Structure 1
């Protein structure tokens, strides 16, 4: 006998073929939409040169990540807007609108002339399109997750929605695969000049496929039942904050669930890729291949842990994942650094860089540093060289020690302070003389396998905290305001706590000169999530929404 769906009598569980279509269409659309969003981050270096040119390489990267963060910053507004429409008009038509908006905005990035051609208009248009992407994504996830969850029986909801969670990783993997294919087919110079635009334009084809699949879907059975019973919310946004007990649920969903899972996710996939390509100087193609393959395999974890939550409950995997992340985060990245570029850590141990002098202030957001010491720190940061500031023994004159060799940079060993390129070249030659290697690294096969294993461990931690979340958030909130109530905390957490991670982590690294220091941001957010989750999440087996505080 068919089983009632989502607690609504009279609405039976869809057939196996129906649920396969629901999962495939929802997951495919989510893959394509996240592809559109992540292609920006995957091509961050080229986007910086095209739209955010700056003499300060660190500033250029920070501007790119600021543009990345802008999209995330508008996700909560998208959650409010499309959550309202999803609770008023239906799940299906709302996420048709979101995927269309995302596809058009992404293709637009590929058509913008560079800053060299149209000046400041170029970055401004990029920011506008990133805002549109953020609005679209704010409505996409909640719609797709709820749509699948409301077709699923309680005892299989974690498994079914695990595919939606995996499709988020799928969007990232697809972005990496498309970039790799373009790099393979297009000469390097041509790719840097114009070929990087093709992945953005490809979003139009992906949009067509997604719309074709989603137009074949029917409305969610839960929403149809509410509409027939006249139970549609009057104002879903207002009722999300006035419904009894919902304020606590939103707080727990934001700080106990979403904050942790998004920072773990972005650290596992985005930070690891930036870490390998940036400070570890791994060849871009090699880094993208190993991270892309690890991400592809990691998609299995999201389905496995989603299914596990159907047996052990939604709370346990999330708490386990947060706790293990706190234990393993730094050791995993230390391992990545060791296998990616062992020579760098050896050089830093053998010939550490120590700077001493007055007024060694460094502003990563300044296009030109005010002091010579600031210029030196900016150069070291851009080259990914760790350094220490000798505050206790600082001297009136600017000095730099590289191992046993000490340079008087205000005297006979002065760098070309007025010429950025000459100064960087001179500094690099002194570091190379001390054993630092600035060539791109392609780690041997054994090291690549170890890097892949560590990335899979990060993927498993992300799967633990993310795999069951669509089911959990669906069950936390009442059906008539579910789209709004789960989308708002999810996208505030993902938009601000997670989306600003690359910018904040890069800033911390730039200020400290330590390639691992940005991980402290992830660690603190996950620690808060662990405490709030242990306090606020309900244990026990999965259950339908219960109307209690």
Structure 2
């Protein structure tokens, strides 16, 4: 007990300049890792054209599925692998492994020749590199959070770990800014590149050779290649670090776990903490985090129909304005606890998402909002022929007339009602009183192309007549940014403020999260214990949000209905968190091993009697 008390006293003093430097360096390295990971997501369409489009559709679908799995499904397995290593060999050396794997994988993507040069080997190597990125990222967050928390003074853990919480947003922001700068420079200073297929010139419908803008042809590689400098900086920084005091203390006492995964998840007394962390904290945080950043970007770009450059500029500015909230709420959690801030963020999201996203539509694209409010559109179909169009990998096929009608209307951001028709009744779309029959998606060849083309032309003409701004070139009401600093027009400024509010909610749920998770697990299994619920929550609950939201919107006929997914998960977290999560974690030492302190110092009400608390 005396040893523990000495450590508690030592940890309660202000941090030295060197300790602050170590924690800042740890956060900086994590920014680089998130930058590496987000590059692929931001450039996925361009990369897919380089590596996958030459394959038959079935093969492209397999690669799309694997790329999706690498980005989200693999992350929890990385949490298990590196979490176990972090608890066995130490935080510092596991840190070095994750940054090396992530950095080298990203750099090699920039060097990797496309399908035209290497054939089948190119996309296979690309998928392997993506898998390695996902594994490394799965081990990075738990290590960063654990390392920083175990260095921080006991009464300042929320503040210091909140810098780790800024890293994902800063990584996203850095990737967006680098892409915007490189894209503008390359396209402005280099000529379009002629395209070839199997060594022959690729011709367009008019018989002319297809030309590709230089950024899509080769400029996309520059952000990947540039990451080598970030890797070298990160390696240098992390090589200067010392092992975490809590891990060294545990090693000196001989209380290390010999099987951290088995102890963390094979024993109910610890496994139930991971379940409560997942459903009572992380799941709600994940959907609010993805909604405020990724879904907001998807929404203004694909649903509200802003161009990609404008969408990136507006989101980038909202990130710049809102990121300080991570540190503010992390610091606040040192005084009032982690639980009330995280759950308040989830509750506010559930209460305000509908009005905020509606305000974004009305501000960004008034013509679209006006058409939605004043045009009656319905889909009449046998309900047995209508699918729930959940398609996270983009590989599923929905060929019934009902699915075709709903998918097209949803992608055109049309609000409509569904009318149940008797079995065998042909599906029709009615727009402002005009009924349009829907073609059969099981047709093949030229017959399918002709039917699809005729249907889409008829529907688009009817929507245009009804007031929907189908042609973006004629929509003068839509928001537009001509350059990065073009945000001071009233329309753009209001959009930035609305999206900054969404970022503030992100900072509420995410700012105190690292400290909250670290405090729920004993030192001997901390890296493993916190990493898995975090990456299941963010990789699965959060990562599936865009696909789930689109499927719900298509099913219901309302572009805002997909928000129910985030709202339901956030409310679930509020309820479970209120009942099962304690608010006393910020008061306990990460060094203590005295069982009598566990109930009032842990992040879980019925903390187990385990060495290492």
**With structure 2 as the length reference, what TM-score do the two structures score?**
0.80
The aligned residue for residue 286 of structure 1 is: 310
Asked if 2 retains the 8 angstrom alpha-carbon contact of 1:6 and 1:154, the reply is no
Asked if 2 retains the 8 angstrom alpha-carbon contact of 1:71 and 1:132, the reply is no
The aligned residue for residue 434 of structure 2 is: 405
Q: Distance in 2 between matches of 1:327 and 1:462?
A: 14
Equivalent position to 1:418, from 435, 449, 455:
449
Alignment of 1:390-401 (within 5 A): 390-392=419-421, 396-401=425-430
Asked if 2 retains the 8 angstrom alpha-carbon contact of 1:262 and 1:498, the reply is yes
Give secondary structure in 2 for the equivalent of 1:184: helix
CA shift for structure 1 position 258 = 1.1
Give the 3 Å change call, closer, same or farther, for CA 54–520 of structure 1 in structure 2.
farther
Asked if 1 retains the 8 angstrom alpha-carbon contact of 2:346 and 2:571, the reply is yes
Give the 3 Å change call, closer, same or farther, for CA 211–380 of structure 1 in structure 2.
same
Give secondary structure in 1 for the equivalent of 2:271: helix
Q: Distance in 2 between matches of 1:116 and 1:151?
A: 50
Asked if 1 retains the 8 angstrom alpha-carbon contact of 2:439 and 2:455, the reply is no
CA shift for structure 1 position 354 = 2.0
The aligned residue for residue 418 of structure 2 is: 389
- Work out whether 1:17 is the aligned partner of 2:50: no
Structure 1 runs not aligned, ≥5 long: none
Asked if 2 retains the 8 angstrom alpha-carbon contact of 1:355 and 1:389, the reply is yes
Give secondary structure in 2 for the equivalent of 1:544: coil
Size of the aligned set, in residue pairs, is 543
Equivalent position to 2:386, from 346, 361, 373:
361
Give the 3 Å change call, closer, same or farther, for CA 6–61 of structure 1 in structure 2.
farther
Asked if 2 retains the 8 angstrom alpha-carbon contact of 1:4 and 1:13, the reply is no
Give secondary structure in 2 for the equivalent of 1:418: helix
Asked if 2 retains the 8 angstrom alpha-carbon contact of 1:98 and 1:139, the reply is yes
Asked if 1 retains the 8 angstrom alpha-carbon contact of 2:75 and 2:138, the reply is yes
The aligned residue for residue 147 of structure 2 is: 147
Q: Deviations over 1:485-539 (max 9, x none)?
A: 1112112212211222233333333444433222222112111111111112112
CA shift for structure 1 position 442 = 2.8
Asked if 1 retains the 8 angstrom alpha-carbon contact of 2:169 and 2:319, the reply is yes
Range moving further from structure 2, 496-505 or 271-280: 496-505
Equivalent position to 1:236, from 260, 273, 288:
260
Asked if 2 retains the 8 angstrom alpha-carbon contact of 1:34 and 1:171, the reply is yes
Alignment of 1:73-472 (within 5 A): 73-114=73-114, 123-187=123-187, 189-241=213-265, 245-358=269-382, 360-361=385-386, 369-392=398-421, 396-408=425-437, 417-419=448-450, 420=452, 423-437=455-469, 438-439=471-472, 441-443=478-480, 445-472=489-516
CA shift for structure 1 position 369 = 4.7
Runs of 4+, deviation exceeding 6 Å:
3-6, 9-12, 60-63, 116-120
Q: Distance in 2 between matches of 1:426 and 1:117?
A: 42
CA shift for structure 1 position 370 = 3.3
Asked if 2 retains the 8 angstrom alpha-carbon contact of 1:11 and 1:221, the reply is no
Give the 3 Å change call, closer, same or farther, for CA 232–9 of structure 1 in structure 2.
farther
Give the 3 Å change call, closer, same or farther, for CA 152–231 of structure 1 in structure 2.
same
Q: Distance in 2 between matches of 1:172 and 1:493?
A: 19
Range moving further from structure 2, 45-54 or 225-234: 45-54
Structure 2 runs not aligned, ≥5 long: 189-212, 441-445, 482-488, 591-596, 599-606, 609-613
Q: Deviations over 1:249-291 (max 9, x none)?
A: 2111111111111111111000000111101110211110110
Asked if 1 retains the 8 angstrom alpha-carbon contact of 2:284 and 2:570, the reply is yes
Give secondary structure in 1 for the equivalent of 2:379: strand
Asked if 1 retains the 8 angstrom alpha-carbon contact of 2:149 and 2:518, the reply is yes
CA shift for structure 1 position 101 = 0.8
Give the 3 Å change call, closer, same or farther, for CA 343–400 of structure 1 in structure 2.
same
The aligned residue for residue 543 of structure 1 is: 588
Q: Distance in 2 between matches of 1:243 and 1:405?
A: 63
When the two chains are superposed, the root-mean-square deviation of aligned CA atoms in Å is: 3.3
**Larger relative contact order, structure 1 or 2 (CA cutoff 8 Å, min sep 6):** 1
Give the 3 Å change call, closer, same or farther, for CA 230–454 of structure 1 in structure 2.
same
Give secondary structure in 2 for the equivalent of 1:477: coil
Q: Deviations over 1:300-354 (max 9, x none)?
A: 0010000001111121111211211111122211111111112112122333332
Q: Distance in 2 between matches of 1:510 and 1:353?
A: 13
Asked if 2 retains the 8 angstrom alpha-carbon contact of 1:5 and 1:11, the reply is no
CA shift for structure 1 position 13 = 5.8
Alignment of 1:28-43 (within 5 A): 28-43=28-43
Q: Distance in 2 between matches of 1:74 and 1:6?
A: 41
Give the 3 Å change call, closer, same or farther, for CA 202–21 of structure 1 in structure 2.
same
The aligned residue for residue 501 of structure 1 is: 545
Give the 3 Å change call, closer, same or farther, for CA 327–240 of structure 1 in structure 2.
same
Give the 3 Å change call, closer, same or farther, for CA 395–320 of structure 1 in structure 2.
same
Asked if 2 retains the 8 angstrom alpha-carbon contact of 1:169 and 1:296, the reply is no
Q: Distance in 1 between matches of 2:551 and 2:235?
A: 39
Give the 3 Å change call, closer, same or farther, for CA 61–320 of structure 1 in structure 2.
farther
Asked if 1 retains the 8 angstrom alpha-carbon contact of 2:12 and 2:153, the reply is no
CA shift for structure 1 position 421 = 5.3
Q: Deviations over 1:420-461 (max 9, x none)?
A: 556545543342233221316335821221211111111111
Q: Distance in 1 between matches of 2:29 and 2:399?
A: 48
